[in-house]
Structure 1
């Protein structure tokens, strides 16, 4: 075959000595057709030898959608959690002969619709959509889901004797800020502690230092900070350094999502590490309408370093 010519079902049929219909039945693994094992293997071998790739548009017309699943993710939510989630989602979809397309950041509705019309995806997902839509966490969520991961920060600080805890937040509009605050409040309530005091640590460096200075002056009882993510935690540590203070002696600081940069600073950042591959696999099963049995979510864990 010429290098630029697409191999078709007709080519595979000719090479294996069967009809195009038989090739289609074999390659689509149609359970309703009685085709001998020998013929099935001959067709599959011919397809492999010729480098046959199913035509996605034609298959979409037959099945009503393509075997593509689209994931939309906000740029602010990229981190260790999202990377491991996407890895699990991609691997599970691949195991069921589907392909993942990830779209990062904001896109105009018109361009989004053009893409969806062109590829006719099996499903369109938005990262963290259940929580953004007001999902109430279940007992399992508090054990090994987003709620439980957020609670890890507060519980870790409380176990070390901190009773007045602040939540350091980004100045940008983050999709999950309100959700994280809600989970933090629920955790302090369960522990019998005062609700966490939120404050913003903005960019650039000078602004972040000024914000931390003003916050500490107004909240002398606060002894620990649970940061929205590692980026905000590192801004807080930098501000403490600029103010001549240290962590954890003057203020304990714990990050979230283990971006790995926290291990490179002094003091090294204590943070929450989350392996979300199972979460991605569960999302894939749900998108394909498959049973979720056999997939177990792994609870997050605190990486204890020097800052808290």
Structure 2
């Protein structure tokens, strides 16, 4: 069924299209009798008229849509859907809750295609990019005059109590991993990362942050590898961990719990003792973490709380207010048997 147009309403109400436009858009500058206004509104309701969101956005300069560019990759028609963890849904739901309280609607775009493409279809009031934006995306937003918020990238690790700028979530996560392993007595650690293209940006950010954190606390992290999809990476992971243990690596920090679970599987298959021969530490605290044998130590990402913070930062951008600091305690370590 085609959309009811202003021409349909004008014909049924026996008024001009200009009159319909003035009434439906509540535009000042023209006198319209109360009787005519009521007839137009009743006709519109009886015909099932629904305002065109794009047209409303063009008139008002805003759409009441907030666009979230998630960390999650949206695969193309010829690409597989890969298991990459489940925490992104918590972030999206938390942001959606806050945006709804503003009287707006959240639309999720995901990564993997230019933001400028989405801007040809949407006219958002705000863009939230928790994983950051490319310069191409920033240029597209500037041209469209759409405000955005992206967390500042981590620049080092300020000492506790130094009064320096609050650490980013990625930096906090990396420091939680490295400090936990250091407290367990490990001075030479490896980092088990992913080479999956879908999460390349966040994987690179986490690896860089782990290197910085290790340097800051005096831990060696020269052993690093990027594995392919978990289901295909068993042989390479086995060879890697065997070589690392021969080199004196005593603990492995992992990109997420899926890769940590792969490391646990490798170690159990070769008869290694966990954590005596090699400690393993994941990220995300997925449900499978405590089901592993031995139960997996991990760093929990409080994504719902971070989503609330992300929305608050976006609101501050819209209102011209100072950005709120990142809340403390978003990356607690859940110590179980593998460390």
Query: TM-score under structure 2 normalisation?
Result: 0.66
Aligned-pair CA distance for 1:160: 1.2
Contact 2:128 2:314 in 1 (8 A): no
Query: TM-score under structure 1 normalisation?
Result: 0.72
Contact 2:190 2:252 in 1 (8 A): yes
Residue in 2 that maps onto 1:304 = 335
Equivalences, count? 273
SS of alignment partner, residue 248 of structure 1 = coil
Listed one character per residue, the Cα deviations across residues 118-164 of structure 1 (whole Å, up to 9, x for unaligned) are 3222233433106898553674543x732112100110111111111
Residue in 1 that maps onto 2:191 = 167
Residue in 2 that maps onto 1:36 = none
Q: 1:141 to 1:182 in 2, by over 3 A?
A: farther
Q: 1:263 to 1:24 in 2, by over 3 A?
A: farther
Listed one character per residue, the Cα deviations across residues 152-187 of structure 1 (whole Å, up to 9, x for unaligned) are 011011111111111111133421333223322332
Aligned-pair CA distance for 1:198: 1.3
Aligned counterpart for 1:136 among listed residues 155, 158, 163:
155
Q: 1:231 to 1:270 in 2, by over 3 A?
A: same
Greater alpha carbon shift after TM alignment, 89-98 vs 124-133: 124-133
Q: Distance in 1 between matches of 2:216 and 2:95?
A: 33
Listed one character per residue, the Cα deviations across residues 268-300 of structure 1 (whole Å, up to 9, x for unaligned) are 111111212233323432553453677862421
Q: Distance in 2 between matches of 1:258 and 1:161?
A: 22
SS of alignment partner, residue 338 of structure 2 = coil
Q: Distance in 2 between matches of 1:157 and 1:215?
A: 16
Q: C-alpha root-mean-square deviation of aligned residues, in Å?
A: 3.9
Q: 1:119 to 1:172 in 2, by over 3 A?
A: closer
1:122 aligns with 2:121: no
1:209 aligns with 2:238: yes
Residue in 2 that maps onto 1:45 = none
Listed one character per residue, the Cα deviations across residues 41-78 of structure 1 (whole Å, up to 9, x for unaligned) are xxxxxxxxxx9976422320222132222223342896
Contact 1:132 1:175 in 2 (8 A): no
Q: Distance in 1 between matches of 2:322 and 2:91?
A: 16
1:192 aligns with 2:233: no
Greater alpha carbon shift after TM alignment, 90-99 vs 186-195: 186-195
Q: 1:170 to 1:267 in 2, by over 3 A?
A: same
